[in-house]
Amino acid sequence: MDAELGLRERKKLRTRRLIAETAAQLFVERGFDAVPVAEVARAAEVSEATVFNYFPTKEDLVYQGMEAFEAELLAAVRERPAGESIVAAFGRFVLAPRGFLAATDEDSARFLIAASKMIAASPALRSREREILARYTTSLAELIAEDTAADPDDLRPWVTARALIGTHQSLIEFVRHHLASGPVDHIELARQVWARGREALDLLEHGLAGYGAEPTE
């Protein structure tokens, strides 16, 4: 029975991976909004109902890894070593290279760059992305409130979470801006993302009191 269950679960994972990879290829080639779910199903040789069994919405075909990212982010903050701040733990996780910024070959980098451009070109995907980031903010704020034993009227967990997720969102937009400007060296862009992210997080870590203040005479 255990062996049969293991085989069934492995088959489900293979089917899920096949659907996701097929959808990604089609979306990158023709654009997210131009490819119906029925076409993804035909290309993956499954029924449309099977696609929706694994991915409740079309957007989930693109953002299917986001729940894992959220869980890992919260774990990085929750399980940070003694003495490490929330900002430092967040930065350690978020600034680790991922996606095309971590690609080791040009073919993978080109595909992932095209996928990023595809997301930027789709209003539906950008809307879903904002929903996901809002969910990240809520989850992180609740974790910070629990971790610091904040009372219900304490705004600091929410301010912190919004600042941190805002930094993450700003880095996403930074990457998209550079991708839209023309050909990029993904290794150099990864370096810039780390440097700009570190700069922004240092500002949060050390306080905004003097930032932007006019010089005194």
Can you give the chain as a three-state secondary structure string? Answer: CHHHHHHHHHHHHHHHHHHHHHHHHHHHHHCHHHCCHHHHHHHHCCCHHHHHHHCCCCCHHHHCCHHHHHHHHHHHHHCCCCCCCHHHHHHHHHCCCCHHHHCCCHHHHHHHHHHHHHHHCCHHHHHHHHHHHHHHHHHHHHHHHHHCCCCCCCCHHHHHHHHHHHHHHHHHHHHHHHHHCCCCCHHHHHHHHHHHHHHHHHHHHHCCCCCCCCCCC
pLDDT value at residue 3: 60
Q: Which of 56, 82, 97 is the last residue of a domain?
A: 56
Q: Does residue 49 sit in the same domain as residue 86?
A: no
214 in a structural domain: no
Q: 215 lies in a domain?
A: no
**What confidence score (pLDDT) does residue 1 get?**
56
Q: Dump pLDDT digits (tens) for 90-100.
A: 999 999 877 76
Confidence of residue 127 (pLDDT cuts 50, 70, 90): very high
Domain membership flag for residue 216: no
How high does pLDDT run on average in the chain? Answer: 89
* 13-64: pLDDT as tens digits: 899 999 999 999 999 999 999 999 999 999 999 999 999 999 999 999 999 8
Segment 71-82 mean pLDDT: 94
Residue 7 pLDDT grade (very low, low, confident, very high; cuts 50, 70, 90): confident
| Domain co-membership, 77 together with 32 | no
Over 80: is that where the pLDDT of 102 sits?
no
Same domain, 109 and 135: yes
In this structure, are 36 and 136 located in the same domain? no
Note the pLDDT tens digit of each residue in 192-216. 999 999 999 999 998 887 777 777 7
- Looking at residues 154-168, what average pLDDT do you find? 96
Domain residue limits at 45: 2-56
211 found inside a domain:
no
Residues 49 and 76 in one domain: no
Q: What's the CATH code of the domain at 113?
A: 1.10.357.10
Is position 169 within any domain?
yes
Residue 181 pLDDT level (bands cut at 50, 70, 90): confident
CATH number, domain of 34, equals: 1.10.10.60
Find the mean pLDDT for residues 143-148: 94
pTM, entire model = 0.85
Same domain (yes/no): 11, 90:
no
Same domain assignment for residues 161 and 144: yes
Structural domain count of the chain: 2
The average pLDDT across 152-161 equals 95
Are 19 and 69 found together in one domain? Answer: no
Residues 51, 71 within the same domain: no
Q: Do 71 and 111 belong to one domain?
A: yes
Say whether both 86 and 162 belong to one domain: yes
pLDDT score of 4: 59
Mean pLDDT of 76-91: 94
Confidence (pLDDT) at 67 = 82
